[in-house]
């Protein structure tokens, strides 16, 4: 929805944050660990009687939410959910910040709140429904990590077993770890990237297993460094993970790493940091990691205007009820930068 939103008085509005991957892209699809951070770009959803679904994701989320709500849904007049996700766009580009996941989560949250069911205490149910929606929308491809990040907020560790429910845990990040999130052009299609990697796995299973093993081990190393409070070690592990993604890019012939990342990565390394792309699609979002605020600040000044540094903070609370009139603003926490 562009411009000022037209809303009905008394209709609840729900905001769900986007997300970035610190590590775990692709490895999470092979039972590896992923670490994500929820970011302060929000999909804002509201149930509007008489409206039609904006997208297949919204339509599926509304249907599954009505089924889950049960008898309480009888009180709702016919309609659908309108979702404002302009915050995920920069000019003509859609930023790869998990907008589809945030849309699914916000839609489910809006349905619950409209039916008089608070999403507080029902986050697991919101996750399960939004997870199912995302799987339908992606034809079973991809992980549910971005859904989990949007639902729970903060920094999370996510593991998706072949069988059984995903394991989602909050994770503590050292205060000495400083992140810079930036945008570098047009995003790629995540589903196409995942399909290309799966095709590569079928064509070269031995090479694929070797690369996946390296990615899983590096993601675990990143988690261990965080757990030990070693920001420098975490930065090194994240940089290694980014280079391993580049190897996968070359092997599977997908655009996992954008060319502009090379210059940004070189600059970050001069300053003692590392840069990696965020997301399996390897689109336009990058994360620079540093162990000092001074290095992060120097990177921010030096990388512009080639890269657009995003004014985002950590979305600590995940999906939540919001006032329709006010934008979702929370205490500034720009990833310690």
Number of domains in the chain: 2
Instruction: State what percent of residues in the chain have pLDDT above 70.
Output: 87
Shared domain check, 125 and 206:
no
Tell me, yes or no, whether 34 lies in a domain.
Answer: yes
Q: How many CB atoms lie within 10 A of CB 124?
A: 12
Q: Which two tokens stand for residue 315?
A: 């979305």
User: How far apart are alpha carbons 86 and 226 in whole angstroms?
Assistant: 33
State residue 91's pLDDT score: 76
**What's the count of helices (H) and strands (E) in the chain, helices before strands?**
9, 12
Tell me, yes or no, whether 7 lies in a domain.
Answer: no
User: How far apart are alpha carbons 17 and 170 in whole angstroms?
Assistant: 16
Range from 92-96, 142-146, 204-208 that averages highest in pLDDT: 204-208
Shared domain check, 20 and 165:
yes
Q: Kindly list the distances between the CA atom of residue 104 and the CA atoms of 36, 124, 155, 237, in Å, as whole numbers in the listed order.
A: 18, 14, 20, 32
Under 8 Å between Cβ of 223 and 41: no
Tell me, yes or no, whether 331 lies in a domain.
Answer: no
Structure-derived torsion over alpha carbons of residues 311, 56, 78, 124, reported in degrees to the nearest 10? -60
Say if residue 1's pLDDT is above 50. Answer: no
CATH number at residue 124: 3.30.230.10
Shared domain check, 107 and 80:
yes
Shared domain check, 158 and 291:
no
Tell me, yes or no, whether 213 lies in a domain.
Answer: yes
Tell me, yes or no, whether 233 lies in a domain.
Answer: yes
Mean pLDDT of 80-102: 90
Task: Convert the pLDDT of each residue in 210-264 to its tens digit.
Answer: 999 999 999 999 999 999 999 999 999 999 999 998 899 889 887 655 667 788 9
Shared domain check, 167 and 24:
yes
Tell me, yes or no, whether 75 lies in a domain.
Answer: yes
Shared domain check, 21 and 157:
yes
Kind plus residue range of the DSSP H or E element containing 178: strand 178-183
Rg over CA atoms, the chain? 19
Shared domain check, 197 and 125:
no
Task: Convert the pLDDT of each residue in 169-196 to its tens digit.
Answer: 999 999 999 999 998 766 656 677 788 8
Tell me, yes or no, whether 329 lies in a domain.
Answer: no
Shared domain check, 204 and 64:
no
Tell me, yes or no, whether 332 lies in a domain.
Answer: no
Tell me the sheet residues that pair with 277: 286
Domain limits at 304? 178-309
CATH number at residue 182: 3.30.70.890
Shared domain check, 212 and 148:
no
Shared domain check, 146 and 21:
yes
Shared domain check, 71 and 55:
yes
User: How far apart are alpha carbons 260 and 231 in whole angstroms?
Assistant: 25
Q: Which two tokens stand for residue 197?
A: 């990697």
Shared domain check, 112 and 38:
yes
What are the backbone angles phi and psi of residue 81, rounded to the nearest 5°? -105, 130
């Amino acid at each position: 929805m562009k411009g000022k939103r037209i809303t009905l008085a008394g209709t609840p509005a729900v905001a769900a944050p986007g997300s970035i991957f610190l590590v775990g892209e692709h490895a999470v699809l092979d039972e590896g660990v992923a670490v994500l951070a929820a970011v302060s770009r929000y999909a804002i959803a509201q149930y509007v009687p008489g409206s039609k679904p904006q997208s297949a994701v919204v339509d599926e989320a509304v249907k599954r939410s009505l089924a889950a709500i049960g008898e309480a849904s009888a009180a709702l007049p016919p309609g659908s959910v309108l979702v404002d996700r302009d915050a995920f766009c920069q000019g003509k580009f859609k930023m790869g910040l998990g907008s589809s996941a945030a849309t699914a989560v916000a839609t489910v949250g809006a349905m619950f709140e409209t039916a008089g069911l608070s999403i507080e205490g029902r986050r697991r149910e919101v996750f399960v429904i939004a997870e199912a929606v995302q799987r339908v929308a992606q034809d079973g491809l991809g992980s549910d990590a971005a859904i989990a990040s949007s639902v729970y907020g903060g920094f999370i560790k996510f593991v998706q077993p072949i069988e059984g429910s995903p394991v989602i845990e909050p994770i503590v990040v050292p205060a000495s770890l400083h992140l810079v999130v930036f945008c570098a052009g047009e995003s790629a299609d995540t589903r196409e990237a995942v399909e290309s990697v799966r095709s590569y796995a079928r064509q070269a299973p031995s090479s694929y297993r070797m690369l996946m093993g390296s990615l899983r081990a590096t993601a675990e190393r990143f988690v261990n460094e965080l757990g030990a409070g070693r920001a420098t070690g975490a930065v090194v592990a994240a940089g290694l993970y980014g280079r391993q993604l580049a190897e996968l890019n070359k092997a599977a012939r997908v655009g996992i790493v954008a060319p502009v990342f090379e210059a940004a990565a070189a600059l970050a390394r001069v300053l003692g940091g590392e840069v990696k792309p965020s997301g399996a699609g390897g689109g336009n979002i990058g994360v620079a990691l540093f162990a000092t605020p001074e290095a992060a600040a120097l990177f921010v000044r030096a990388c512009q205007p080639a890269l657009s540094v995003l004014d985002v903070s950590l979305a600590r609370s995940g999906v939540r009820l919001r006032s329709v009139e006010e934008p979702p603003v929370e205490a500034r926490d720009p990833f310690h930068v």
